[in-house]
Amino acid sequence: MTNNLTVIVLAAGGGTRMRSKTPKVLHPVCGRSMVGHVLHAVRAVEPRQVVAVVGHQRELVAPHVEEQLPGVVLAVQEDQLGTGHAVRVAVEAAGGIGAGTVLVAYGDTPLLEGESLRAFTAEHEAAERAVSILSGIVPEPFGYGRVVRDGDGDVVAIVEEKDATPEQREIREINSGILAFDAAFLAEALPRIGNDNAKGEYYLTDCVQLARDAGLTVGAYPLEDVLQTEGANDRAQLADLGREMNRRIVTRWMRAGVTVMDPATTWIDSEVELAQDVTILPGTQLLGATVVGEDAVVGPDTTLEDCEVGAGAQVVRTHGQLAVVGDGANVGPFAYLRPGTRLGEGGKIGTFVETKNADLAPGAKVPHLSYVGDATIGEGTNIGAGTIFANYDGVAKHRTTVGRQARTGSNNTFVAPVTVGDGAGTGAGTVVRDDVPAGALAVSAGPQRNLEGWTLRRRAGTAQAAAAEAAGDPAHKTSQDDGDGVGGTPSAGAES
Ligand code: UD1
Ligand code: CA
């Protein structure tokens, strides 16, 4: 293939049927915008230059296109006067195109693949045509430009729906919209395209007729996988194409050695990376730049966005964003991993645990019912059930550091900033406000007092009192003190 290839991507149209404040080509499909998918395919053919034609909402479309493909040439088409006009604007913006091949594609065909563009361009160049049409045979050609062939089967024209005769409307070979041109021919044909047609637009497709009239070769190359050139015009089509792309992605991963128990409820974004022997259970979404290592099991009912899951890890019924789960680690069921969570090898973030900016060293465990915000937890440390890392004092966030091999009790509160040393411990219900030295046991709850007989005195006539009575409440006789502790002594309730 020549390296003298220019690709023009048309993305100036309004996309009114999307009924959206977001420009059509920016709507995402499997985690990437529609135009992002097209540019991804375009990049695979290694063009010398890419020109994107923007118009409607270009203040949003242009920066996005530049971000997706740095170095792209932007052409502004103020009024959308037709595809022929759009390509003319593109050629002007590029300062002319010289010799070589020009490929024209649309910005709203997310399933388009680089390999198809490569094969089409190669075929066009090998055949030395002035114009090649990437066509498709479809059951419902309504709305498309039809590829008209003569008695010998040679392509003579593309006729748009509105300009077609009833006989031409019967033709099921359609123009996908993707066209390849000899650059020199295109340059001299563009100014000759008129707008004397049903829509009053400058049709790029008129180039076919112009080439024929000049005695040049034209031809059509049918793409079997017609969905690759299908555009999404409304949100129903967007969902259809999204489901189809997901089906393709899931199938690709299964072929690469990933077990997917239920492809229909498994959603995998384009940029996700999965290792061999990963297992994905039903109801799982792997989004963004998520990476999952060998033998890991993810799901059921799990959403991971931009997460990294290590080899052999298990992530069950979890919602995670920008989190890292180490090799062999365990997460869930019902865990919420927020950005900045890093769980070390063999560690555990268990049931009903929320974490954020939390760094858990290898083997560290937070098994139950906890909030871990802005924390560093050392190797092999176990955090008791129902622990809150109180990281926010109402003004600023602070960090808690727990050393290695610590054992903290249930229902603790770590009031940050605070540090717990290596091998330290805390009693159940401790509110840790001050640093705990290595090896120390911190307890903050006061000594327990039992106010004997309290139930019978204060809850007489209730089921609770009946139960206490039946058990033979030892403090039956009681004192004058009513025993609720208010105004009493720590030994209130004892016999006087
Ligand atoms: C076009 C083709 C038709 C083909 C169909 C495939 C022409 C004349 N017709 O018809 O043969 O079967 O696509 O979908 O080319 N655009 C601009 N600027 C414009 C006009 C269009 O950037 O002035 C962009 C649109 O944003 C869109 C694409 O070009 O992405 C196609 O434009 P559209 O008006 O939808 O063309 P169709 O009538 O569908
Ligand atoms: Ca269209």
Binding-site residues for Mg(2+) sit at 108, 233
If 0-12 CB within 10 Å is exposed, 13-18 middle and 19+ buried, where does residue 142 land?
A: exposed
Give the nearest ligand 1 atom to 107 CA: 30
| Residues in contact with 475: Cβ distance below 8 Å, sequence separation at least 6, in sequence order | 452, 453, 493, 495
pTM for the full model?
Answer: 0.92
Q: Which residues are marked as active site? A: 368
Pocket test for ligand 1, best of 26, 83, 88, 205 (most atoms within 8 A of CB): 83
- For the Cβ of 202 lying below 6 angstroms from any atom of ligand 1, the answer is no
Please answer whether residues 104 and 94 qualify as being in contact, where contact means their C-beta atoms are separated by less than 8 angstroms.
no
Q: Cα 334 to the chain's mean position, in Å? A: 20
Residue 12 Cβ inside 6 Å of ligand 1? The answer reads yes
Mean pLDDT within 218-234: 97
CA–CA separation, 362 vs 339, rounded Å? 19
Distance CA 212, CA 189 (A): 12
Q: Write b or e for each residue in 102-127: b if 16 or more Cβ atoms lie within 10 A of its Cβ, otherwise e.
A: bbbbbbbbbbbbeebbbbbbeebbee
**Binding positions for UDP-N-acetyl-alpha-D-glucosamine:** 10-13, 24, 77, 82-83, 106-108, 145, 160, 175, 233, 338, 356, 371, 382
Domain ranges across the chain: 5-229, 251-442
The pLDDT of residue 490 is 36
* CA 465 to the chain's CA centroid: 57
Instruction: From the options 1.10.10.10, 3.30.413.10, 3.90.550.10, 3.30.70.20, give the CATH code of 5-229.
Output: 3.90.550.10
| Model confidence at 480: pLDDT above 90 | no
Q: Decide: 321 in ligand 1 pocket, CB within 6 A.
A: no
Angle between helices 58-68 and 34-43 (to 10 degrees): 40
Pocket test for ligand 1, best of 106, 138, 160, 207 (most atoms within 8 A of CB): 106
pLDDT of residue 483: 45
Q: CB of 268 closer than 6 A to ligand 1? A: no
369 lines ligand 1 (CB under 6 A): no
pLDDT tens, residue by residue, 54-77: 999 999 999 999 999 999 999 999
CATH number for the domain running over 251-442: 2.160.10.10
Query: What angle in degrees, to the nearest 10, is found between the helix axes of 34-43 and 114-126?
Result: 50
The pLDDT tens digits of the residues spanning 161-216 come to: 999 999 999 999 999 999 999 999 999 999 999 999 999 999 999 999 999 999 99
- Model confidence at 485, pLDDT cuts 50, 70, 90, reads very low
Q: Give the pLDDT mean for 451-468.
A: 95
In this prediction, residue 223 carries a pLDDT of 98
Residue type, 251: T
For the Cβ of 38 lying below 6 angstroms from any atom of ligand 1, the answer is no
The rounded distance, in Å, linking the Cα atoms of 71 and 278 is 37
Contacts of 467 (CB under 8 A, 6+ apart): none
Which tokens hold the place of 229?
């050139």
* Ligand index nearest the alpha carbon of residue 237: 2
What is the tens place of the pLDDT at every residue in 247-262? Answer: 999 999 999 999 999 9
User: What percentage of the chain carries pLDDT values higher than 90?
Assistant: 93
Q: Do domains 5-229 and 251-442 have the same CATH topology?
A: no
